[in-house]
Amino acid sequence: MTKSKMKKIVSSALVANLMLGSVITALPTQGAAVENAATGNSAEKRLVSNLKATEPILKNGSFAVDTGVPKLTGWSFGVMKNGTTQYNIPLTVGNGGWYRIGDDKFNIKPAVGGIDVYSMTVQDNLIYQVIKTKPGETYTFSYNARLNGTGGSVNLLYSGINVIDNKSNASIVSKPHQGVSGNTSYTNVYTSTFIATGEETRVEIVNAVTNDYQSLFVSNAQVTSTDTTAPAKPVIAAMTDRTATISGTAEAYSTVKLYANGSYITEVRVGSNGQYSTAAGPYVAGTKISATATDTAGNISDASEI
């Protein structure tokens, strides 16, 4: 081999190495981003263990109250009165361990395994949550409720379910005034199966009374899906140390969680076309970017990396 040819080969190799130094390249599945991932929730634990994982579709189904803020994490409150519904009413500190929503006609109190919900006449009191859904997919919303007090109030107190397309505000299920057993030791189970019509669905627990000073113990709320198949790994588009966007493809309507060297960055909802994009970076060459996809049934994919 001639000296000139040797020089050309060496020069080409050096250029290639320099270029690779500025590109965030593909890595093995069990890279540092997997080993060093935070373990704060089931999605993040999956990065560490690569075991099958799911996360609840509905947050805080046990109705744990954050008394420091105060707030009922994951949930919001509303009141329907005279045909008009007011949403996003804040929770404020009341008396005797109770928390007030608006005026004294709607109150909640922390209890073991759930909350006591106190209602008065004139209005429907709403405890609701907006969940991510996939249009056309079937879900079931349920919760438990039991009469508080001395009993015998079966005809005075009602509880039930509304399910609403959160974008169009169109009703999917309307069963707000179902009966409550007058037996205080009997747990009523309220459940409704529905087909989602949009990307976000509002599920509402409705309480109403025909006589003042009635309350329920509410617990064990959940949304389930028949879908138990985890989505495929997200695809992350190639990046350089000048890229200020992370983008790629994943299952439509899923949520992609992104990590840099194992540290959580952000999450982004995938569109109906299966594409996602979010502002992030730029990151120095060699940074390991990883991602998981969580579908609307709570199934979590394996991690992908570049």
**Residue 20 lies inside a defined structural domain of this protein:** no
pLDDT at 181: 81
**Residue 10 lies inside a defined structural domain of this protein:** no
Mean pLDDT in order along the chain per 10 residues (306 residues): 43 40 41 37 44 84 94 96 93 93 91 92 92 97 86 68 97 93 86 97 93 84 95 96 96 97 96 96 95 96 96
35 and 129: one domain? no
State which of 225, 258, 284 marks the end of a domain.
225
Domain that holds residue 288: 25-52+230-305
State which of 205, 225, 245 marks the end of a domain.
225
CA distance 121 to 111: 23
Query: How many domains are there within the chain?
Result: 2
Q: Peptide bond preceding 234: is omega within 30 degrees of 0, i.e. cis?
A: no
The CATH code of the domain that includes 220 is 2.60.120.260
pLDDT at 213: 66
pTM: 0.79
**Residue 3 lies inside a defined structural domain of this protein:** no
CB 47 within 8 A of CB 259: yes
**Residue 8 lies inside a defined structural domain of this protein:** no
CB 294 within 8 A of CB 258: no
Closest alpha carbon to 79 in 109, 122, 131: 122
174 and 289: one domain? no
167 and 247: one domain? no
The CATH code of the domain that includes 247 is 2.60.40.10
